[in-house]
């Protein structure tokens, strides 16, 4: 797809991400490895998605002298995974920024309509003053991400980014129609959705593969 019309969309082209994505796409990759590599991809994506984080200067002492150096105040950041599959990426981000808060938005796609159904919301009380990174490995029709951003905006959140691993063009188009102001960081932009609204080539059902619930 031509991304020129979507300045909010950042596809992170990096051989390490591409390589690790190939491993988790494989049908034979089992839960333990799938989970480990999902976390690694999250960390690599974080490198790009957190590029514009504000730093504040603090005074420290090296073994040689006093100096003023940058630091990240994690307490003003909130990672919000969309349950369940988003949970697979959270630890990668909290390893990078341990001071960040974590909120949760529970959505599942109705098996018939494929529309998201909300079942759980728990966010920090002062979420509206925080910078929020919404997390979900899969971005298919875009319905779940659209609803999750609606939920955050309804609570007054001003600064939101969305980080996913695999996206379909259909999701990018639908999301950008409503939330063009929200930057999206994508590990791999795939071909299209199948008739069951799964991403092709994709990696299957991310939640099931992360949590081993496929059988």
Catalytic residue status for 190: no
Set 84, 109, 136, 190: catalytic member:
109
Residues 79, 100: contact at Cβ < 8 Å? yes
Joined tokens for residue 39: 């976390």
Q: Which does 188 bind (CB under 5 to 8 A by kind): ligand URA, ligand PRP, none?
A: none
Distances (CA, A) of 27 to 102, 148, 174, 205, 208: 31, 29, 28, 11, 12
In the complex, least distance from residue 170 CB atom to ligand PRP, rounded to whole angstroms: 8
Q: Is 202 an interacting residue with respect to ligand URA (CB under 6 A)?
A: yes
Interface residue list for ligand PRP (CB under 6 A): 82-85, 107-109, 114, 116, 136, 138-145, 171, 197, 205-207
Least distance between ligand PRP and beta carbon 38 (Å): 11
Per-residue burial over 13-31, b if 16 or more Cβ lie within 10 Å, else e, is ebeebeebbebbbeeebee
109 given a catalytic annotation: yes
Spot the catalytic one: 110, 113, 155, 191.
Answer: 113
Among 91, 131, 170, 205, binds ligand URA (CB under 6 A): 205
The H or E element that residue 60 is part of is strand 56-61
User: How many whole angstroms separate alpha carbon 107 and alpha carbon 141?
Assistant: 14
- Minimal distance in Å, beta carbon 154 to ligand URA? 24
Which helix (H) or strand (E) segment holds residue 39: the answer is: helix 31-49
Between residue 102 and residue 141, which ones bind ligand URA under the rule CB under 6 A?
Answer: 138, 140
Which option in ligand PRP, ligand URA, none does residue 202 bind, with CB closer than 5 to 8 A by kind?
ligand URA
d(CA 198, CA 204): 7
Q: Scanning residues 17 to 76, which ones bind ligand URA (CB under 6 A)?
A: none
**Which of these, 186, 174, 128, lies nearest to 147 by C-alpha position?**
174
Which residues form the interface with ligand URA (CB under 6 A)?
Answer: 85, 138, 140, 198-199, 202, 205-207
Active site residues: 109, 113, 205, 208
């Amino acid at each position: 797809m031509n991304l020129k019309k979507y300045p909010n969309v950042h596809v992170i082209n990096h051989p390490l991400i591409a390589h690790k994505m190939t491993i988790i796409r494989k049908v034979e990759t089992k839960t333990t490895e799938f989970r480990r590599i999902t976390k690694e991809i999250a960390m690599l994506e974080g490198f790009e998605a957190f590029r514009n984080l504000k730093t504040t200067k603090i005074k420290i002492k090296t073994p040689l002298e006093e100096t003023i150096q940058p630091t990240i105040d994690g307490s003003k950041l909130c990672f919000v995974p969309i349950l369940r599959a988003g949970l697979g990426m959270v630890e990668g981000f909290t390893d990078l920024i341990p001071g960040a808060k974590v909120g949760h938005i529970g959505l599942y796609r109705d098996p018939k309509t494929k529309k998201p159904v909300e079942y759980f919301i728990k966010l920090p009380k002062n979420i509206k003053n925080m910078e929020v990174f919404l997390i979900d490995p899969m971005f298919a029709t875009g319905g779940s991400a659209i609803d999750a951003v609606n939920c955050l905006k309804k609570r007054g959140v001003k600064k939101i980014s969305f980080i996913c691993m695999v996206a379909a063009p259909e999701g990018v188009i639908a999301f950008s129609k409503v939330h063009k102001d929200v930057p999206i960081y994508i590990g791999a932009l795939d071909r299209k959705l199948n008739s069951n609204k799964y991403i092709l080539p994709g990696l299957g059902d991310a939640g099931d593969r992360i949590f081993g619930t496929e059988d």
